[in-house]
Amino acid sequence: MGANDYMRDPISSLLKNYATLLYIFLYAPIALVVLFSFNSGNYAADLQGFSFRWYGETWRDPFVLEAFGNSIFIATTSATLATIFGTLAALALQNVRGWLRTVYDSLIYIAIIIPGIVIGIATLIFFVQFFGWLNPILQNLFGPTAPRLNLGMPTIIAAHALFTMSIVLVIVRSRIAGMDRSLIEASSDLYATPFNTFWQVTLPQLFPAIMAGFLLAFTFSFDDFIVAFFVAGPNTTLPIYVFSSIRRGVTPKINTIATVTLIVSLSFLFITQNLLTRSNARARTPDKE
């Protein structure tokens, strides 16, 4: 093939330079944020010298710490729920055909594709209506000391689990599709009970995909701003804190928070990628042509 002729022609080098420029365009802004997080000066946009000063200041800020703690808690809990619900549903959907399958496929894609703001509004309205209906009942049952349900961390967790569950479902389902079935058959031929087969054969094969789903769900929840903005009530998450600080004026603290957030997502992404590559390497299904 003429692959080598291609390499030397002017269009190729033009395309290569163009691609380089686009990669700079994609990464330079992020790199600048990281660079400025090590600024020693008082202002966010004025580079003075290298220091960890703002990391220290950010770490001592009780509001940042609270928001960070909330975000970690919300992301861990919602990703755990999403992973369990998504994996169970992916296993069940193997046996589902017909209209129910169509309904499910539509729900999964709707949850993934619709903008976060629509999920934010919908869940806000649902919770407010639902609590407005449930609270009087609780008051009647338990008297005035009954707990009043309100918007807060549990509502953020529930709303995040809705769309992260769909991501887990898609990942685990594609792994199930590429799974080596001969092992399952071998296991039942060797008189393993269905439960043992699941526990000892199916689950270990699915594990990398499940783990990858969990990590992506965590990242999504940790980075989400818009859904939490609607259903957070009085609580703050890290993105909500960052957003409201930006509105009050850009400070060096935002750069350090941004850098830490990027490190969290990038390391999770890196692990996810490794897990998925390893799990898919054996089970690559040939393209249907």
Partner 1 sequence: MTVSTRKTKLTTALLLAPASLWYLLLLVAPLVIVTIFSFGERAPEGGYAAAFTFEQYLKLPTRSTPFINTLWLASLGTFFCIILAYPLAYYLATRASAQMKSILVALIIVPFWTSFLIRTYAWITILSSRGIPAILERLGLVQDLVLLNTPFAITLGIVYNYLPLMTFPLYVSLERLDKRLLEASKDLGANRWGTFWQVTFPLSAPGLITGSMLVFILLMGEYLIPALLGGGKIFFVGNALVDLFLQSRNWPFGSAVSMALNFIMLVIISLYLWLTSRLGGEGREEVSLF
Contact set for partner 1, span 116-175 (CB under 8 A): 116-119, 121-126, 128-129, 158-159, 161-162, 165, 167, 169-171, 174
Give the separation between CA 81 and CA 97, rounded to whole angstroms.
Answer: 25
Site string for partner 1, 12-51 (x = CB under 8 A): x--xx-xx--xx-xxx-xx-xx--x-------xxx-----
What's the min distance (Å) between Cβ of 269 and partner 1? 5
How far CA 66 is from CA of 104, 155, 228, 240, in Å, comes to 38, 18, 15, 12
Stretch that binds partner 1, among 49-57, 58-66, 87-95, 139-147 (CB under 8 A): 87-95
What's the min distance (Å) between Cβ of 44 and partner 1? 6
Return the residue matching tokens 């009954």. 146
**For residues 88-107, which are near partner 1 according to CB under 8 A?**
88-89, 91-93, 95-96, 107
| SS3 category, 50 | strand
What's the min distance (Å) between Cβ of 30 and partner 1? 6
* Beta-carbon contacts of residue 132 (< 8 Å; ≥ 6 apart): none
What's the min distance (Å) between Cβ of 38 and partner 1? 15
Stretch that binds partner 1, among 49-57, 84-92, 142-150, 176-184 (CB under 8 A): 84-92
Q: What is the CA radius of gyration of the chain?
A: 24
Return the residue matching tokens 């594709």. 113
Cβ proximity to partner 1: between 173 and 205 the closer is 173
Q: Would you state the structure tokens that stand for residue 225, as one six-digit string?
A: 């701003």
**For residues 209-268, which are near partner 1 according to CB under 8 A?**
212, 216, 219, 223, 225-226, 229-230, 239, 242-243, 246, 250, 254, 258, 261-262, 265-266
Cβ proximity to partner 1: between 1 and 145 the closer is 1
Q: Would you state the structure tokens that stand for residue 82, as one six-digit string?
A: 């999403």
* Beta-carbon contacts of residue 198 (< 8 Å; ≥ 6 apart): none
Cβ proximity to partner 1: between 47 and 138 the closer is 47
List the one residue from 200, 244, 273, 285 that touches partner 1 (CB under 8 A).
273
What's the min distance (Å) between Cβ of 195 and partner 1? 11
As a three-state string, the secondary structure of 209-252 is HHHHHHHHHHHHHHHCCHHHHHHCCCCCCHHHHHHHHHHHCCCH
Cβ proximity to partner 1: between 15 and 137 the closer is 15
What's the min distance (Å) between Cβ of 28 and partner 1? 9
Cβ proximity to partner 1: between 36 and 187 the closer is 36
| SS3 category, 2 | coil
Give the separation between CA 69 and CA 55, rounded to whole angstroms.
Answer: 16
Q: Would you state the structure tokens that stand for residue 74, as one six-digit string?
A: 């919300």
